[in-house]
Amino acid sequence: MDDAPALAPILSEWVQETDWMPKLHTPKEDIGFVKSLIDAKTVWLVESNEQPIGFIATDGAEIPALYVAKGKRGKGLGKTLLDHAKSAQSRLSLWTFQANRGARAFYAREGFREIERTDGAGNDEKLPDLRLIWEQYP
């Protein structure tokens, strides 16, 4: 089953409601992006009433995507997804935008620490970003 058409609106909705985020992609392009995650990465999702309400993509220790649907955020779903990824790896890393204060606070609570900052020249959005890591300690 192809979950991309059901998962992509979670991403699209976040982009549309985030005022500082450039609107670079169409909903169809978002479906293509999510399909590429599903095809090439490991994707776990959370459902409610058989409808996806959040997902995380991992590529080994890298997390290229973690999104929870509007109205479902702040209820522990992101933590549940992240805990699942933590259970499979002793180290995780990801990028987030410096402007994404909610994500930064969430990842700090979850034990991630900043290891790198950029001016955004290397991402499609051209927004300053941060590289974060989490390491499981014995």
What CATH number does residue 52 fall under?
3.40.630.30
Residue 41 CB neighbours (<10 A) = 16
1: pLDDT strictly greater than 60: no
- Give this prediction's pTM: 0.94
Mean pLDDT in residue range 34-50:
94
Mean pLDDT in residue range 33-53:
94
What DSSP string describes 17-76? H-TTS-----HHHHHHHHHHHHHHSEEEEEEETTEEEEEEEEETTEEEEEEE-TTTTTSS
Note the pLDDT tens digit of each residue in 45-71.
999 999 999 999 999 999 999 999 999
Tokens encoding 98: 């410096």
Please count the structural domains in the chain: 1
Percentage of the chain modeled with pLDDT above 90: 96
Phi then psi for residue 30, to 5 deg, are -65, -40
Give the domain range for residue 123: 4-135
Percentage of the chain modeled with pLDDT above 70: 99
Mean pLDDT in residue range 6-33:
96
Mean pLDDT in residue range 101-124:
97
Query: In the predicted model, what is the mean pLDDT of the chain?
Result: 95
137: pLDDT strictly greater than 90: no
Residue 132 CB neighbours (<10 A) = 22
Mean pLDDT in residue range 62-81:
96
CB environment 10-27: b (16+ within 10 A), e (fewer): bbbbbbeeeeeeeeebee
